[in-house]
Amino acid sequence: MKKLRRAILLPDIHYPDHIRANFTAIEPFIKDFKPDIFVYMGDQLDLDMISSWNESKPRNTEMKRLNQDYKKFDVLFLRKHEKLAPKARRIWIDGNHCQRADWYVDKHPAFEGMIEPRNVLKLAERGYKVIKFGGYYKLGKLIVIHGKYWNVYHAAKTVNMFENSVVYAHTHNPQIYAKTVPIDTGKYHIATSLGCLSSTTPEYKAGRATRWINQFAVVYLDDKGSFWLYPITIVNGKFIFNSKIYG
């Protein structure tokens, strides 16, 4: 086996509703892990000030400013991660929250090009590969998407619909489901849903229970496209990898 490539997958940061402690733990890990590929799996920013949910509720977004969120997200996440893993290939997947900017432009076309994450953060110019909302990125034989299904058994639904191995975010809820064929080929597909890096008790849930936990993942890839995916659960800002405690 030739040298394995390493990828880090960061799901659902939801800036500014992220948990800072998760990143205090992840940042030194990035330095140790030395990812060749860095994937933001969607919903990097909340963008609730331009959400249609808040259109008639200005009190929900009082003092929230799009420009400020983009600037701070850039400094606290993108630039920091670029320094920690300067040679990594960088992938930005748009989630439904990122897409709020495009949905806003659908209603207010004069803002086209001015408020979308890919434009404001100059992602392509900075070397990021941008996967537009609904698209996918391939890590060998593993398909990476933001996530499409939200039902109770979303991992089963995902593997049945894709007929491929898939890792996704979106639900903020961990699940794994594998599908084999009833003949002895040894072939299977597996769908893995990751938790999130945001708060698991956001204000808009008003105390209702969620099925969310904090997670991210790493993937090892060989030259044939085979992959080994490891979801990593963060508990109270701490996780353990390779017998080392982070956070």
Residues that bind Fe ion (CB under 5 A): 12, 43
The two structure tokens encoding residue 213:
């936990």
Q: Which residue is nearest to Fe ion (CB)?
A: 43
How far is it between the farthest Cα atoms of the chain?
A: 60
Residue type, 230: Y
| For Fe ion, the closer CB: 61 or 96 | 96
Q: Which residues pair with 239 in a beta bridge?
A: 246
> Closest distance between Fe ion and the C-beta of residue 16, in Å?
14
> Closest distance between Fe ion and the C-beta of residue 109, in Å?
26
Pairing relation of β-strands 5-10 and 215-221?
Answer: antiparallel
Residue type, 99: Q
> Closest distance between Fe ion and the C-beta of residue 125, in Å?
26
Interacting residues of 151 by C-beta distance below 8 A, sequence separation 6+: 157
Residue type, 15: Y
> Closest distance between Fe ion and the C-beta of residue 4, in Å?
29
